[in-house]
């Protein structure tokens, strides 16, 4: 059985990915309590001792607005940590998988982004993630960079839960001038599992198919939850005034994933319906 190491296994993506991989691999899991990937030596030692055939890096400093005033932490985790893990994976001949973001694009293309499109990140978080990509290419001979977007999973804080929470209090105002592809962590995990099972390397986009604005996503969430008495109105990014700039239009084109490994990601609406069921199951278990 192949050995796979998942870094950041307690995070939103890491938890779903480990559940997907556990039956098929000898799975090793680490989060910050076991290994801080910003520690170069510890990362080298940890990965050398396991000597896996793949290292999947689900670690992230993911506070997009917080990163504007904490650039050093964002770079330390998303870039230097990624470099440490890439170097350590390379030293044992492992394939290294880095999770990237649609935010590396500036959103001005006017169409969905392909893997080869030029990047131009607009905020600190996005720049730190782009450096993570560059380090991955530079320090790991066999790597995958899998860019995703607008993640929601039952094991983390996410937009779906934020909307459901706010809907209990009253009507909502949601940004309507940013368009992207919401992505269920379970579906991204499936895409990652298929890529792991293949011998692909290089950069791939993997999001749920279809796209929407945050406003449309919020309406979809309330519909999926059967909440019909809460009004959602449109807000502009300028009115919201978040610290970090985000791309206005950043859906990712999944065509390469489809073509190379024959996997078509479900639509975000289908994913949302399954998310609602999964959160019910989780609540019943708690
Ligand atoms: N969330 C999104 O919408 C989105 C979109 C596109 C791409 N991505 C990328 O997808 C990946 C997974 O995102 P996610 O939302 O699942 O993130 P997440 O829920 O924040 O999980 C990240 C995990 O990494 C851990 N971690 C943080 N710093 C660490 C360090 N120095 N060493 C080891 N572990 C550390 C975190 O621990 P603590 O919780 O204790 O800090 C957490 O368990 C990230 O690379 C992110 O940039 C996310």
Q: Does residue 284 have a pLDDT over 90? A: no
Q: Ligand 1 atom 45: the closest Cα is on which residue?
A: 60
Q: Would 170 be classed as within a structural domain? A: no
Check residue 161 and give its pLDDT: 97
Which pair of structure tokens corresponds to residue 277?
A: 């069921």
Model confidence, pTM: 0.97
Q: Would 257 be classed as within a structural domain? A: yes
Q: Would 215 be classed as within a structural domain? A: no
Check residue 283 and give its pLDDT: 86
> What CATH code is carried by the domain that includes residue 59?
3.40.50.720
Q: Which atom of ligand 1 is nearest to the CA of 129?
A: 47
Range of the domain at 45: 3-158+183-208+249-267
Average pLDDT, the chain: 97
Q: How many structural domains comprise the chain?
A: 1
Q: Name the residues annotated as catalytic.
A: 125
260-275 confidence digits (pLDDT tens):
999 999 999 999 999 9
180-219 confidence digits (pLDDT tens):
999 999 999 999 999 999 999 999 999 999 999 999 999 9
Q: Ligand 1 atom 18: the closest Cα is on which residue?
A: 11
Check residue 41 and give its pLDDT: 98
Q: Would 50 be classed as within a structural domain? A: yes
> Any idea what DSSP says for residue 102?
G
Q: Which of 60, 67, 73, 132 to mutate to test the pocket of ligand 1 (most atoms within 8 A of CB)?
A: 60
Q: Would 70 be classed as within a structural domain? A: yes
Q: How many Cα atoms within 13 Å fall on the side-chain side of residue 270?
A: 10
Q: Would 203 be classed as within a structural domain? A: yes
Q: List strand residue ranges (DSSP E) for the chain, in order.
A: 3-7, 26-30, 54-57, 95-101, 143-148, 151-152, 172-175, 179-180, 183-184, 202-205, 212-213, 232-235
Could you tell me the distance, in angstroms and rounded to a whole number, from the CA of residue 246 to the centre of ligand 1?
Answer: 18
Could you tell me the distance, in angstroms and rounded to a whole number, from the CA of residue 42 to the centre of ligand 1?
Answer: 19
Q: Would 225 be classed as within a structural domain? A: no
Q: Would 221 be classed as within a structural domain? A: no
Q: What percent of the chain has pLDDT over 90?
A: 97
Q: Does residue 115 have a pLDDT over 90? A: yes
Could you tell me the distance, in angstroms and rounded to a whole number, from the CA of residue 226 to the centre of ligand 1?
Answer: 30
Q: Which of 5, 6, 58 to mutate to test the pocket of ligand 1 (most atoms within 8 A of CB)?
A: 58
Compute φ and ψ for 210, nearest 5 degrees.
Answer: 85, 165
Q: Which atom of ligand 1 is nearest to the CA of 14?
A: 16
What sign has the CA pseudo-torsion 98, 103, 104, 110? positive
Check residue 286 and give its pLDDT: 81
Band of pLDDT at residue 160, cut at 50, 70 and 90: very high
Could you tell me the distance, in angstroms and rounded to a whole number, from the CA of residue 231 to the centre of ligand 1?
Answer: 32
Ligand 1 contacts (CB < 6 A) are: 8, 10-14, 31-32, 35-38, 58-60, 62, 77, 81, 99, 101, 129, 148-151, 156
């Amino acid at each position: 059985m192949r050995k796979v190491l998942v870094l950041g296994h307690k995070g939103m993506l890491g938890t779903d990915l480990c559940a997907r991989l556990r039956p098929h691999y000898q799975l090793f899991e680490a989060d910050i309590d076991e290994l801080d990937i910003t520690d170069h030596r510890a990362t080298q030692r940890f990965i050398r001792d396991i000597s896996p055939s793949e290292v999947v890096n689900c670690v992230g400093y993911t506070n997009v607005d917080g990163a504007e005033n904490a650039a050093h932490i964002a770079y330390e985790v998303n870039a230097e940590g990624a470099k440490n893990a890439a170097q350590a994976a390379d030293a044992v001949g492992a394939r290294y998988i880095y999770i990237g973001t649609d935010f590396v694009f500036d959103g001005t293309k006017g169409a969905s982004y392909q893997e080869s499109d030029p990047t131009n990140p607009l905020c600190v978080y996005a720049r730190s993630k782009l450096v993570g990509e560059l380090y991955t290419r530079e320090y790991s001979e066999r790597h995958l960079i899998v860019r995703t977007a607008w993640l929601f999973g039952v094991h983390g804080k996410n937009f779906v839960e934020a909307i459901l929470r706010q809907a209990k209090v009253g009507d909502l105002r949601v940004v309507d001038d940013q368009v992207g592809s919401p992505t269920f962590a379970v579906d991204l995990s499936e895409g990652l599992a298929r890529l792991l099972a293949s011998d692909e390397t290089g950069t791939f986009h993997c999001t749920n198919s279809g796209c929407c604005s945050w406003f449309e996503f919020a309406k979809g969430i309330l519909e999926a939850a059967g909440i019909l008495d809460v009004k959602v109105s449109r807000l502009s990014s300028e009115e919201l005034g978040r610290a970090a700039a985000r791309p206005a239009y950043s859906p990712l084109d999944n065509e390469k994933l489809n073509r190379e490994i024959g996997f078509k990601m479900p639509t975000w609406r289908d994913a949302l319906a399954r998310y609602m069921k999964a959160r019910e199951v989780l609540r019943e278990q708690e």
